[in-house]
Amino acid sequence: MKRLIIIISLIFSISISTELSAASKSKVHTFEAGKGHFLLDGEPFLIKAAEIHYARIPAEYWEHRIQMCKALGMNTICIYVFWNYHEEEEGVFNFEGERELSRFLKLCQKHDMWVIVRPGPYVCAEWEMGGLPWWLLKKENMELRSLNKNFMQAVGRFQRRLAKELQPFMLKNGGNILMVQVENEFGSYGTDKAYMSAMRDSLRAAGWEGTAMFQCDWSSNFQNNALDDLIWTLNFGTNAKPLSQFKTLRTIRPDAPLMCSEYWSGWFDGWGRKHETRSADAMVKGIGTMLENGISFSLYMTHGGTSFAHWAGANNTHFSPDCTSYDYDAPINEQGAATDKYHKLRALLQEYSDKPLPEIPLAKPIIKLNNIDFSGYAPLESNVCRVITSEQVQSFEEMDFGYGSALYACALPACPEGGYLRITEPHDFARIFVNDKLIGELYRGLKEQHTLRMPAVNQGDTLRIFVEAMGRINYSRQIHDHKGITEKVELIKSAEEVILLKDWEIYLIDARTYPVEWNKIVGKKPGYYKAEFKLKKRGDSFLDLSTWGKGFVWVNGHCLGRFWKVGPQQTLYCPAVWLKKGKNEIVVMDIIGPEEITMQGLASPIIDMLRKECLPEDAVKIERQVLQNSSVQAENQGNDAAPGAK
C-alpha cells in the first residue's frame, strides 16, 4: 500500500510539473488594480464576466456553456468553488469526473476566457450549507466563519489542496486566473476584520501569493470588514442604480477601478414560493450604465443550471429550502438555451466589442418521452444503511450522517385520552405514524410547527417519526443547521404530565443511494419506484413529476435532484448525456406516495406551478394552544420537566 501511495504521488507530481512546464511556455500575463482601471499586461481592461457554476452543469456541457458566454460578449468566467462538493468526507478530496475543476479551466483557456475564482470557504449561492461541509458541525463548539481553531485548520487544508489543483492556471504560471476572492459577503454575517485578515493570509500561504485578491459586499456594509490591501467590489442587482451603489466607494477610493462582482440577473426559487423573475430591460439598462462609466461587472447568474442530487440549500426565512432548478431567470436558461434576456444583452455587448461576436452555439436538442410506466417497487426501509440504538434521539451529525432521511422509532406509554406530541426540532419534514398509521406531518418551513395532536394510544404502541433532511441553510448565522431531530421528543398527556420519550431505534436512509432489489407494485404508497424505457435517440428532457409526492429521482444512476408537488417546480431537468440509446432506468424515491405511477418527459420545464395546498397543515395554532399553560411554558424555558413528568 505504501508503494502504491508513493507511485501515485510521483505520477501526480510529474503531471503537475508537466502542466506547469507547458504553462511556462505560454505568455505570462499580469493583472492589477491601476488608477481608475484594471490593468491587464499594463493596459486598461474592463471585466465582463459571466458567472456559471461547473457543479451545476453536466461536465459534457461545460464547453457549450462557456461558448454561450463568449458569444454573449463576455471575456471572463466567474466561478464559485464549493468546498463540500470536493471534500464530502473530511480529508478525502475529489477533483475527478464531474468535479474535475482543472478540465473546466482548460476549456476556459481553450476559448480565450479569463477566470475569476471564488473559493469561499463560504459562498452562499443557494448551495447546501453555503458550500461548507456538513461534517464541520460534528466538531465540538464549532463556530463557522470565525477564528475557531477547528474551522481554520479545516479551511487551510482545503485551500492548500485547491491551490495545488489550480497552480497551472495562475497568471504567474501562464494561466488565466485574474483574481481570487477572499471569503464572501462577510458583512451580512458579522464584523470581524481579524477573521478577514486570517482568510486573506490563509489564501496567500496556500499558494495564491502574487494573485490579485478582492473582497465583495453590499454598498451598505462593505466598510465593516474592508481590508486596505484588497480590491473592493460591490454586489447588487437588477433595478439597483449602479452609480448610486458606488457613491461611497468612489469617495473613499477615488482612483480605484470599480466592479460589481455580482449583478443579479434574476433570483432563486424556493419550495412553496412563487417563481421569481426579473425584467430583461432593467437588467440590460443597469449593465449599460456600468459600461458607459467604465465599471467592470460579473453577471450573477449568466447561466444558473441545476442543483443536482442533494446540493440545493435553504434560505433562512424562516426555513425555506431552495428548488432543484437554479434557472435563476438568467440569460441562458437551465437547459443552456438563449433567452430574450440573452439576445437583448448580446446586442448591447456587441456595441462594446471591436469585432463581431461569435455565432451563438446551437441549443442542445430536446426530446419528449411518452408515458413511462413503472414496474418495480421497494419500501423505504429496504434502503436502510445503518441502524442506531440510543436512549435519546440524536441529530444526523451526532450519528455521523450527512444527507438523507431517518426513521426514529420507540414504544409509547399509554395515553387513553390522547394528547400532544412535541418534537424539538424536526429538521426538516416529518411524517408521524402510530402503529404504521399516519397521524400527521410537520414541516419546519411553517414557523413554530413542532406539535401535533395524538390519538389515544396503548402501552407499547409504536411511534415512528420519518424525518427527511432538506438542504442545510446557506445564509446568515443559521448556517449552523443540524438535521434530523435535534433535541428531544415528548408526549404531553396534560399540562401537568409531560413525558420525555426514550429508547429509540433510528434507521438511516442515505439520499445518495437506492435499492437494487425490486418487487411488484401494490398500491400508491411511500417507497422507491423503478421503470425501464428505451430510446432511439438521446436529447435533453424535463421529467414531469406533477403526479408524484416528494423525494428524489435518478436516471441511469445520476441523481437529477429533489422534487416536491408543492411547486413551483414540477419538472426535473434530465440532460441527454445521462441518457442512453437503448434501455434506460428511472428510479423515484417518494416519501409521501404518488397520485399516479407514471411519468412523461416534456419539451419545456414547469417551474411556475405553485400548489400551496399540498403543504402540511399549519400547526401553529395547536402549538400555541398547548403552550398557554404556564407549567408547560416553564418547562420550555429550561426546567428538566414539568410537574408530574416522568
User: Which residues are identified as catalytic?
Assistant: 185, 262
In this structure, are residues 183 and 222 in contact, taking their beta carbons and an 8 Å threshold? no
* Inter-CA distances, 537 with 14, 365, 368, 369, 378, Å: 41, 10, 11, 11, 30
In this structure, are residues 400 and 484 in contact, taking their beta carbons and an 8 Å threshold? no
Identity of residue 118: R
Q: Which residues pair with 170 in a beta bridge?
A: 177
Whole-number Å distance between alpha carbons of 390 and 506: 8
Q: Which of 146, 601, 587, 118 is nearest to 376 (CA)?
A: 587
The alpha-carbon radius of gyration of the chain (Å, integer) is 26
Share of the chain residues as helix, strand and coil, in percent rounded to the nearest 5: 30, 30, 40
In this structure, are residues 88 and 133 in contact, taking their beta carbons and an 8 Å threshold? yes
In this structure, are residues 147 and 199 in contact, taking their beta carbons and an 8 Å threshold? no
Q: Containing H/E element for 610? A: none
Q: What angle do CA 564, 439, 510 make, to 5 degrees?
A: 45
Whole-number Å distance between alpha carbons of 609 and 485: 31
Q: Containing H/E element for 24? A: helix 2-25
**Residue 579, all three cell numbers:** 441518457
Whole-number Å distance between alpha carbons of 129 and 140: 18
